[in-house]
Structure 1
Amino acid sequence: MSIIIAILAVMIAAKLGPPNPPAPQVTTTSPPVTGLSEDEKKAALSVVFQHPLLAKILSGNNWSLVEAGSWTQNGELVGAALLIRLNEPVWVEGSFSDFDGKSYRAALWIGSLHVLVDLRGRKVEAISPGMTIPPQYSEPLLPGLEKARQVVANRVPTAQSIVFNGVFYTDKYPTGLAFFYVKDMKGEYFIAVNLATMSVEDKYTAPVIKR
């Protein structure tokens, strides 16, 4: 699964608020399958708060630890896979590394964080942000955003609202791939716009599926 598709899945889950959010993907021979002890959870959170970006996000906002699974290799505990949910959407800009090892930059509204923690090395191995809808449709000023919004409006001329969610910078999209939440009479959609070409990327565009 590519970075953007994985992010889109988390974004849709964040919008719908399902009882069971998607589990983080870990590229090891033994993925996280069991729970952690309370001491192990505390140790993992201690490592999380030593990470500059995570500490900045969590220290200034209310949050809860939703899931804490063990990350094991060959039957031995390596670390923790955490799902942290924020009480309110938070705007974040920074560098991230997905659970499959791919790195990218992003500026986005998030509602959750998947974090992989190496307890033996006491370091954060991966951070995968869960994109969500911003509060009161607040929108930061980013280069190309208004042009991208017009591209979305041209694609969905009957749109009742077009809300910016975030932009991702990857090797394939160095100028950025922006995501918008769109609502019209027929339903709700997530539409991705390539900021380099100002065109819709259909492979990352999907309807919101009510479950």
Structure 2
Amino acid sequence: MMSVARDNGYMLSMVNHAKVSTALTTIPGQPGRPRYAATRFLFGDSARVDGVVYLASAGFDHIWPAFSDVVADMLMRRGAFDINGLIARNKKTEAAGFEEICKDIRAKFSLTDGNKYLCPKWLLVLVNKADLYWSDRSSVANYYLPGRGSDFDQHAQQLLNYVGRDLLKYYVLPVAAETEEYKFGSSFGTITSPSLLNANQRDMSLKILVDNLGELCHA
């Protein structure tokens, strides 16, 4: 889902037996003034950003109902109205969004002359919907992990080459925030994909995510 306004929250974790809070800010996913304003502020020359989390979905992105027929028509024209065709289309859109984030990070390093206090120290790609791609997780890993040569990874490598691999660390982590069937509906038909994990596995995935975020934020 794409948020329409900037969200602010906090994550509590334990560091040396003391509770430490970390501010988390979500940039709106929908194009518009709130998204552009948040991007300009966070990736400008004054805001401190310790790290960046990019939420990917391995092609299982939500399609808003207003756009479902447009997407379905495009898939039909390509002879790819199935889950594989939809995933391929969504991954191209996702890679384009990731490229924009990489450009924003490069701009921040440029604007601040690589100021270590203001610039992010890490970039974490969370590959959500692990419950939907679990049977194909090796292929998904090859698409997102560093050095595998995918379209997605090429954007990350260009960023790292620009800012320096000692200044910015790149991580990839699978996660399952929910365990529910994926469904894309349109007037052309419906495409579905089943969830492959149970609630306990989902909860363990979320715990691993929280633990990793805690380590990154307080390293």
Q: TM-score, normalised by structure 2?
A: 0.23
Q: Which has the higher helix share?
A: 2
Comparing both chains, which one has the higher relative contact order based on Cα–Cα distances under 8 Å and sequence gaps of 6 or more?
Answer: 2
Q: TM-score, normalised by structure 1?
A: 0.24
